[in-house]
Amino acid sequence: MGLRIHFVVDPHGWCCMGLIVFVWLYNIVLIPKIVLFPHYEEGHIPGILIIIFYGISIFCLVALVRASITDPGRLPENPKIPHGEREFWELCNKCNLMRPKRSHHCSRCGHCVRRMDHHCPWINNCVGEDNHWLFLQLCFYTELLTCYALMFSFCHYYYFLPLKKRNLDLFVFRHELAIMRLAAFMGITMLVGITGLFYTQLIGIITDTTSIEKMSNCCEDIE
């Protein structure tokens, strides 16, 4: 079964996705220019490490696009309900359509999604039954790329031999410290956020509980 294309018209989501793409471009351009290529030219690192960096970066971007444009499990207006499963369906009080249990209505997307986990502004899409695995792929590749970039940033200052050749006329080398500090800040922030998100997603899969259901259970316990 092929993946269905799905677009969400949400300016807030587009801004969040734009920020993610900016961080990706920032690191994919500057880290190789400041760290990877200079150390490769002076023989400090093998070329395969640069290939791996770009490979993970491409996987990360592809995962972002796929998670963003893939239909999360949107319910059609006139769903065909199998006769033996009618008791497992219910009426949505927002869009007034029949939906299977464990489906939820997304106010941003304006429709119900099968086994909806949450609406993620960073991919400008819901995370549901049909794209949950793509969202997990995105979390994994993002965490891998962030760790890889942070490792090279650390090695650049504390492990690799000092660079002998530097072009001081280039902007990036004049402001190298500020650029690398900003990259490290974005990397650490991304790593902490993605690690927490990835952990909660894995716990949800193990316990077969979505984020919405967890919030509902917490509200019931408080009441």
Please give the positions annotated as active site.
Answer: 120
Contact present, 113 and 74 (Cβ < 8 Å): yes
* Beta-ladder partners of 5: 70
Contact present, 187 and 149 (Cβ < 8 Å): yes
Which residue in the block uniquely carries the two structure tokens 């799905």?
6
Query: Residues 36, 37, 38, CA angle at the centre, nearest 5°?
Result: 95
What letter does residue 118 receive in the DSSP assignment? Answer: E
Q: Which two tokens stand for residue 66?
A: 């796929």
Query: Residues 159, 141, 143, CA angle at the centre, nearest 5°?
Result: 55
Neighbours of 127 (CB within 10 A): 25
